[in-house]
A and B are shown apart, each in its own frame.
Chain A
Amino acid sequence: MSARDQILNQLRSNERPAEHPEPWRSRRNFPDLAERFTQTLTAGKGEVIRAANFEAALNEIDTILHELQAKRVAVNDTAPLDGLDVTKRWPDFEWFVAGKSEGDIKSFCAGADVGLSGADAALAETGSVVVSSGPGKSRLATLLPPVHLAIVPTSILTSDILTWTAARQGQPGANRVLVSGPSKTADIEQVLAIGVHGPKRFIVVLYDD
């Protein structure tokens, strides 16, 4: 008998009828999702910059990239940046556009200064941004560079992880990550240290759309 059958038979021999409880729904009711998102993420050592509209958000990104003195930037070619030719708008940086640029994305990201992405959703309660893999959406772009910069419209904010999962649609792609701050550890004497493996800074430009 295969291990699979052996295990499943053992489990089945003790299977009992069970009523699965109805889903637990969110009890949250934040008056201002953007405000809660900003508060929580900031408390978790993330950075949030508010912008009035998409164009203002792009200006913020411009400022941040220059302040960081970035040279190499990896970018996910996805909403809300997919209509934009970043190489034309910011010609003074070396760009790798996921899904478009030629070359090895892993080695580019390993040497990049910033990874720029959009987001699929954002959770107010926990200050989390959801980034997924897919066409034009690199996993390494938001992971290997020391800075992850995300541009997030307020329209994709939802209350919390319960409301987010309740609104699910269809099968997810290969990877989906809820990011709730910069990489951190307290493994040495419980002292908080930022940026152990993932990005050392997590900056969200949150704009009204």
Chain B
Amino acid sequence: MTATMHEFRHSAFVAIEDIQLQSALEGATHKFGTGRTDALAEVPEVEAMRDHFKKVRAATLSQLAHHLETFEKNATAAGTQVHWAATGDDACRIVLDIAQKHGVKLVTKSKSMATEEIHLNQVLSKAGIEPVETDLGEWIIQLAGDPPSHIIAPAIHKTRHQIAEMFTKETGQQVSADDIPGLTELARQVLRQKFLAAGMGISGGNIMVAETGSLVLVMNEGNGRLVTSTPPVHVAVVGLEKLAPTWDDAAVWLSLLARSSTGQALTIYTNIITGPARPTDPDGPQEVHIVILDNGRSKLIGTKYEEVLQCIRCGACLNACPVYREAGGHAYGNPYSGPIGAVIAPLLFGLDKYSGLPHASSLCGACKDVCPARIDLPRMLLELRADEVEQRVLPWWESMSERAAAFGLASPGLFKYGTAVIRQLQRPLAKGDKLNLPGKLNPGQSRKTPALAKRSFHDIWQSGELDNKNGGE
């Protein structure tokens, strides 16, 4: 998957033309956005709490090796088996090895962006192991063969009719598209059997708490409890930046996460896992594995992009982003969409492959406003654009025209002469204050391109007619 400028534009265009998708996007992002505002407004001193959280995240990343070692030590003491994966492929291999060692044929999964990132499902399927996504939205897009289109609402691009059709095809049962509780109940019945039959559960992780070596998973459906409690083996794949040194830090994290995300004070379930079932426990998995995933993250520490690792994947920036709200998630060409995706996809997966993403922003700054950690995403988009110039990722003609324009603007003489030439050239095309350009030549497409005014402000000023004595007031 990639997202060059051309690919982003094409995919966004398809989304913009899709009236149903537009209304779903607008509805969902608006609902999440207002939910977030209301939920945070209820918290005393919430802005100071966000400042505090940012400090916690920054301090944690400054000493991440130390905190990860503490986590490893405490998790191991609780019986968790900790693995380290430098790349996505390594992580997939570790998970596959565990599955094969236990002769697993069926795996249930709870929603995890990290496993989307490393394409774990494809690897498992290829090895003859069936991975079943159990978050309702994830299951829907798994049946459809689609990537997620929103970090927390992966199936917002699907209508109830499309979903009913897929469910009928999958289960052989007729179900009405207008009966959403019925659709939900059908998913419950089908997936319940999978939970009970699975040999292994795979999850992501919202927070690793170093103090006790615990893993925190948040969810509303309960699938993340079933995945981690029902099968004999639980494997979690977690990005190495998702670390809270203490439970005090984790509590602030949790206080902001769901509020920023869905507008809930807490999700329905906050599931804390500290090792496998103890010998005296009546149930629970016999083995718990945590795969700490690097995949390009550690090299960002100490760079101008380090701040992006403060992200807790709440999705608030997507809901606030006017570009995401039109273009939808698929245009980003990777599991991470919206402003956070536009920054981390080029950083983790390659600027050349995702060269369109740094430009998929009007730099309006709405993302920074809503980010619980106040990550300066617009700043990082600007940095990525500067990197593109430095690494010559931009097409030659674009660099050339930028440089020529800057050269012209740097000289008042050239500037005056150049704009005078354009004034002459545009005459046959100018109609009022707009240019009448033929469709394909109009850079703004349906948007009219402005014509240069008959006289520039420089000309008006120089003419003296603005002088006080000439009625310029």
Q: Which A residues lie at the B interface, using CB under 8 A? A: 2-4, 6-8, 10-21, 23-24, 27-28, 40, 44, 98-99, 105-106, 110, 125-126, 128, 133-140, 143, 160-162, 164-166, 168, 171-191, 193-199
Q: How far is the CA of A105 from the CA of B196 in the complex (A)?
A: 12
Q: Which residues of A contact B135 (CB under 8 A)?
A: 187
Known: A139-B229, A187-B155. A16 touches B62 (CB 8 A): yes
Q: How far is the CA of A165 from the CA of B251 in the complex (A)?
A: 7
Q: How far is the CA of A99 from the CA of B277 in the complex (A)?
A: 13
Known: A44-B268, A198-B221, A198-B225. A193 touches B281 (CB 8 A): no
**Chain A minimum-CB-distance residue to B262:** A186
Q: How many of chain B's residues have a CB under 8 angstroms from any CB in A?
A: 100
- Shortest distance from the beta carbon of B173 to any chain A beta carbon, whole Å: 16
Q: Please tell me if the beta carbons of A11 and B298 are within 8 angstroms of each other in the complex.
A: yes
Q: Which of A105, A162, A176, A188 contacts B160 (CB 8 A)?
A: A188
Mask of B104-146 contacts with A, CB within 8 angstroms, 1/0: 0000000000000000000000000000001111001000000
Q: How far is the CA of A100 from the CA of B299 in the complex (A)?
A: 52
Q: Please tell me if the beta carbons of B56 and A125 are within 8 angstroms of each other in the complex.
A: no
Q: How far is the CA of A165 from the CA of B53 in the complex (A)?
A: 16
Known: A23-B246, A126-B266, A139-B225. A196 touches B136 (CB 8 A): yes
Q: Please tell me if the beta carbons of B225 and A177 are within 8 angstroms of each other in the complex.
A: yes
Q: Please tell me if the beta carbons of B28 and A190 are within 8 angstroms of each other in the complex.
A: yes
B431 at the interface (CB under 8 A from A): no
- Shortest distance from the beta carbon of A73 to any chain B beta carbon, whole Å: 15
Q: Which residues of B contact A20 (CB under 8 A)?
A: 56, 59-60, 245
Q: How far is the CA of A25 from the CA of B283 in the complex (A)?
A: 35
B337 at the interface (CB under 8 A from A): no
Counting chain B CB atoms within 10 Å of each CB, the highest count among A138, A185, A191 belongs to A185
Q: Please tell me if the beta carbons of A171 and B270 are within 8 angstroms of each other in the complex.
A: no
Q: Which residues of A contact B282 (CB under 8 A)?
A: 98-99, 105, 136-138
Q: Which residues, 212 to 241 on B, are CB-close (under 8 Å) to A?
A: 212, 214, 220-223, 225-226, 228-230, 240
Q: Which residues of B contact A179 (CB under 8 A)?
A: 268-269
- Shortest distance from the beta carbon of B469 to any chain A beta carbon, whole Å: 63
Q: How far is the CA of A175 from the CA of B283 in the complex (A)?
A: 10
Q: Which residues of A contact B195 (CB under 8 A)?
A: 197
**Chain B minimum-CB-distance residue to A196:** B221
Q: How far is the CA of A178 from the CA of B212 in the complex (A)?
A: 17
B252 at the interface (CB under 8 A from A): yes
Q: Please tell me if the beta carbons of A143 and B180 are within 8 angstroms of each other in the complex.
A: no
Q: How far is the CA of A19 from the CA of B59 in the complex (A)?
A: 6
Q: Please tell me if the beta carbons of A188 and B180 are within 8 angstroms of each other in the complex.
A: yes
Q: List 22 A-B contacts (CB under 8 A).
A: A8-B68, A11-B65, A11-B68, A28-B44, A133-B277, A133-B283, A134-B280, A135-B280, A138-B282, A162-B252, A162-B255, A165-B251, A175-B274, A177-B271, A179-B268, A180-B269, A188-B140, A191-B160, A196-B222, A197-B221, A198-B223, A198-B269
Q: How far is the CA of A200 from the CA of B414 in the complex (A)?
A: 73
Q: Please tell me if the beta carbons of A185 and B221 are within 8 angstroms of each other in the complex.
A: yes
Known: A20-B245, A190-B28, A197-B191. A178 touches B136 (CB 8 A): no
Known: A7-B240, A15-B66, A185-B221. A175 touches B184 (CB 8 A): no
Known: A16-B62, A143-B222, A178-B269. 9 other contacts (CB 8 A): A18-B63, A24-B252, A134-B280, A162-B251, A177-B269, A178-B266, A185-B221, A189-B160, A193-B180
Q: Please tell me if the beta carbons of A197 and B188 are within 8 angstroms of each other in the complex.
A: yes
Mask of B296-338 contacts with A, CB within 8 angstroms, 1/0: 0011011000000000000000000000000000000000000
- Shortest distance from the beta carbon of B468 to any chain A beta carbon, whole Å: 58
Mask of B271-295 contacts with A, CB within 8 angstroms, 1/0: 1111111101111100010001010
Mask of B240-259 contacts with A, CB within 8 angstroms, 1/0: 10000111111110110000
Q: Which residues of B contact A21 (CB under 8 A)?
A: 52, 55-56, 59
Counting chain B CB atoms within 10 Å of each CB, the highest count among A4, A6, A160 belongs to A4
Q: Which residues of B contact A19 (CB under 8 A)?
A: 59
B342 at the interface (CB under 8 A from A): no
- Shortest distance from the beta carbon of A30 to any chain B beta carbon, whole Å: 11
Counting chain B CB atoms within 10 Å of each CB, the highest count among A16, A17, A128, A174 belongs to A174
- Shortest distance from the beta carbon of B238 to any chain A beta carbon, whole Å: 13
Q: Which residues of A contact B184 (CB under 8 A)?
A: 185, 188, 193, 195-196
Q: Which residues of A contact B5 (CB under 8 A)?
A: none
- Shortest distance from the beta carbon of B7 to any chain A beta carbon, whole Å: 27
**Chain A minimum-CB-distance residue to B255:** A161
Q: Which residues of A contact B251 (CB under 8 A)?
A: 24, 161-162, 164-166
Q: Please tell me if the beta carbons of B78 and A18 are within 8 angstroms of each other in the complex.
A: no
Q: How far is the CA of A184 from the CA of B271 in the complex (A)?
A: 15
Q: Please tell me if the beta carbons of A7 and B86 are within 8 angstroms of each other in the complex.
A: yes
Q: Which of A135, A176, A184 contacts B221 (CB 8 A)?
A: A184
Q: Please tell me if the beta carbons of B84 and A3 are within 8 angstroms of each other in the complex.
A: yes
Q: Please tell me if the beta carbons of B222 and A15 are within 8 angstroms of each other in the complex.
A: no
Counting chain B CB atoms within 10 Å of each CB, the highest count among A10, A28, A136 belongs to A10
Known: A106-B230, A188-B163. A182 touches B90 (CB 8 A): no
Q: Please tell me if the beta carbons of B58 and A171 are within 8 angstroms of each other in the complex.
A: no
Q: Please tell me if the beta carbons of B226 and A143 are within 8 angstroms of each other in the complex.
A: yes
Q: Please tell me if the beta carbons of A196 and B272 are within 8 angstroms of each other in the complex.
A: no
**Chain A minimum-CB-distance residue to B137:** A187
Q: How far is the CA of A168 from the CA of B53 in the complex (A)?
A: 20
- Shortest distance from the beta carbon of A184 to any chain B beta carbon, whole Å: 5
Q: How far is the CA of A20 from the CA of B288 in the complex (A)?
A: 30
Q: Please tell me if the beta carbons of B156 and A165 are within 8 angstroms of each other in the complex.
A: no
Q: Please tell me if the beta carbons of B274 and A176 are within 8 angstroms of each other in the complex.
A: yes
